[in-house]
Amino acid sequence: MRINFWAFLLLGLFAMPSCSQKNKVKNQTSNNKIESEIDSLMNESKHENFRGSVLFSRNDNIVFHKSYGNQISNSTTTFWIGSMSKPFTAAAILKLQEENKLSVKDSLNKFIENVPSDKLGITLHHLLTHSSGLANNYVADGIAEREQAVSIILSSKLKNGIGEKYSYSAEGYNLLAIIIEIVSGESFEKYISKNIIAPAKLMKTGFWGFQDKPIVNIAPWNKPELMNNFLSTIFNEGKSQSNYGYKGATGISSTTQDLLKWITALRNAEILDSESLNLMFDPYVSARGDLTTGVFYGYGWFLEYKNGVLREIRHGGAEAGGIGHNGIIRSYQNGDLLIVLSNSGVYNGEGNLNGVEWGIALSFDLRDIIEAY
């Protein structure tokens, strides 16, 4: 089932001007109720340990945006977004395809020499959809040399057969970052900066190992004492260090407002054309269930279905260890967008969300409020 994401978006855009005054009043009432209920939720005692920022927008208009905790500011505080970096990587691959520099159907050996025989069948499509069979062991963490990163990733044993099933893999997205560098002739960070960050006007979005460019106010570490446990090639003397484990799969920092700009730029086809958008949001591989009720992976995004209808497009992320930064983006086809970023580590409380990253755990309650209006 292909989602004509672009056609749906155009339908929504053309329908907006015909909205009656009565509907505008109704929408404003709903927005007021959402704002009130989110604020009430956040003031409950069970959320007193949350630190971070919450943003909810409807049709690109911010309905709720508030920060919690010391040293957290809506507009200037930056969080490491972990695996929410993957959609940036997927967009870069699709951008290179638009430039006729590669195809998602291309195999690894078009870009990388001496690919092991058991991995010759892996294509960019497999890497993008977590169906390459590569494991998720973060073997490239701390490796600063590209050839060494390629070698250790490709020498690792496959977890599953190529194209056999969905199996989340950071290594797959590390390889995509490497391919972006090989094809573009630029560093991963430079290509993303020129082709995504600049066009979307993301003023506070940066990269692991390059945190001074742009100058940003990064939220404090959750457990600073644990940062000393990182390899010196990952974090040293108070600064992150550029390495291939933090390229492609993770390693981007951003703010709630910048992520709103990023999603808006995608929706408005300012980054990718309509064909690429449809490719990005196609449900290729089932992570759980089916198209009636289940979760699929597109190119860099999870797509959740409920009762045969696309419920939301989302991606969460976390930087573990002492960092404790995490969050989630939940995007809806009616124009609603929820973004939560946190530096609180994991939620420790009652229920099945105990041990889940704070930003992600909180977003379930927030989603219930949003979907009620």
| Digit-coded pLDDT (tens) for 31-84 | 999 999 999 999 886 787 899 999 999 988 999 999 998 778 877 899 999 999
Sorted by where each begins, the domain ranges of the chain are 5-109+186-371
CA–CA separation, 241 vs 298, rounded Å?
Answer: 30
Helix-then-strand count for the chain, H and E: 10, 14
> Which range (13-17, 176-180, 261-265) has the least confidence?
13-17
Q: Which CATH architecture describes the domain 5-109+186-371?
A: 3-Layer(aba) Sandwich (3.40)
Q: For residues 147-166, b (16+ Cβ closer than 10 Å) or e, as one string?
A: eebbebbbebebbeebeeeb
Q: Report the distance separating Cα 224 and Cα 238, nearest Å.
A: 10
Q: What are phi and psi of 31, to 5 degrees?
A: -60, -40
pLDDT reading at 1 higher than 80: no
Looking at residue 174, its pLDDT comes to 98
Percent of the chain with pLDDT over 90: 83
* Over residues 223-247, mean pLDDT: 95
pLDDT at 306 over 70: yes
